[in-house]
Structure 1
C-alpha cells in the first residue's frame, strides 16, 4: 500500500493530499530511510513522522483498504512520541 494512502486510512494524517505533501518534503522515514508518498508500506515497517516539533514513531500492524474511525488505531502501534527543540529555541539558550 502507498505511504500516503496508509497515513490517511490509519488517520495519522487526515487528508491524503496533506500526507503526500508531508512525505514529499522528506519528513517521513520508513525503517530509517527517507520515504516518498508512493513508497510501499508493509506490515512490520517502522514509520517516523515529523509533525512540526514532534517526532512520532509507529509500527505498521495491519493494512486495510478502508477502516472505520474506531478501527484505525488497530493498523499501527505507537512506539514513541518525542518533542524536538526547534532551532530558534536552541539559539535562545546560547
Structure 2
C-alpha cells in the first residue's frame, strides 16, 4: 500500500491529498529515509511524520485497505 493511502487509512493524516503533498515536500520519513508518496509500506516500517514543529513516530503493525475510525489506531504503534 502507498504511504499516502496508509497515512489516510490509519488516520495519522486527515486527507490523502495532504499526505501526498507532505511526502512530496520531504516531511515524511520511513526508516530514517525521506520517501515519496509512492513508497510501498511494509509491516515493521517506522514512519516519521512532520507537522510543523511536531513530529510523530509510529511503527506499522498492520496494513488494511479500509478501517473504521475506532480500529484505525490498530494499524500502528506510537514510538517515543
If the length of structure 1 is used for normalisation, what is the TM-score?
0.84
Alignment of 1:1-94 (within 5 A): 1-80=1-80
Residues matched between the structures, number: 80
Give the structure, 1 or 2, with the largest relative contact order (CA under 8 Å, sep 6 or more). Answer: 2
Q: Which runs of 5+ in 2 are unaligned?
A: none
Deviations 1:53-93 (A, max 9, x none): 0111000000000000000000000002xxxxxxxxxxxxx
Runs of 4+ in structure 1 deviating by more than 4 angstroms, as ranges, are none
Distance in 1 between residues matched to 2:55 and 2:13, nearest whole Å: 14
Distance in 2 between residues matched to 1:70 and 1:43, nearest whole Å: 20
Larger Rg belongs to? 1
RMSD of Structure 2 on Structure 1 (CA): 0.5
